[in-house]
Amino acid sequence: MGVDRESFTPIYLQIEEDIRSQILSGKYREGDRLPSESELIKTYDVTRTTVQRALAGLVNEGMIERIHGKGSFVRLRAVRENIWNFSGFSTYAKKTNQIPITKVIEHEVYQEQSGKYLKLVRLRGFHKHNKNQWITLDTSILSLDIFPGLDKYDFSTLSLYETLKNEYKTEPDHARLNVKAMLANEQLMDIFELTTPMPLLNVQGNVMDQQGRTVEQVNVVYSKDADFNFVINI
């Protein structure tokens, strides 16, 4: 792939994104050596400084490792930290003075041996410039034994966390989450209006109350337009 010199996206970020996509698509696998700096310079027709900046971004992201005198190698580093301050989308929207919108994709009650559960799949985003911009695709699993009647609420208009707080006196306090990159499939490309399969951020795990009780199992896919700050307890 060449670079678009008319794009507002800096060239080094275009190269970084292209290499990232090749890794996530399986062209380069764990342990594979990437093309040398000289080869990348020739491929993208850019300066060495631009290539080095692109590779540095992938190093910081944990996707590659650069070994002096040997080159750059794919090193997909799993991120498993305790992430705190994982607040609700509605709270985030209020803090950023934006109008939150929600579209419920799935609202299902199901039974397992461990109890009765609500599965809630929602598109979350903002309404601005007379257009809906979807930012996340959220899947939430909640126990109806812990929160009886929760399935009766309309979460296209109500905040889930505000409902837990006001109706069930339960306030999410912290979360234990796994963060990883994923390649957008056709459904996600359509939802987030992507023209090509590109890496997205996927967050999975459990949200807990102050007593450490799991109140929600979450699986969130963030679009390329998402801009969230995570506070990590290391």
- Residue 130 backbone class (left: φ over 0; alpha: ψ -120 to 50; beta: rest): left
Does one domain contain both 64 and 91?
no
In a domain, 22, yes or no: yes
If DSSP codes are grouped into helix, strand and coil, which group holds residue 146? coil
Domain boundary at 74, 96, 127, which? Answer: 74
pLDDT digits (tens, 9 = 90+) for 178-211: 888 888 899 999 988 888 888 888 988 888 887 7
Q: Residue 122 is part of which domain span? A: 80-233
- At residue 99, the pLDDT reads 75
Residue 110's CATH number? 3.40.1410.10
pLDDT at 122 over 90: yes
In the chain, how many domains are there?
2
| pLDDT greater at residue 76 or residue 141 | 141
**Mean pLDDT, the chain, integer:** 84
Three-state DSSP class for residue 190: helix
Residue 102: count other Cβ atoms within 10 Å of its Cβ: 20
Instruction: Indicate whether 6 belongs to any domain.
Output: no
The string of pLDDT tens digits covering residues 94-103 is 656 677 889 9
Together in a domain, 58 and 89? no
User: pLDDT tens for residues 159-187?
Assistant: 898 899 999 999 888 887 888 888 889 99
Look up the pTM and report it. 0.60
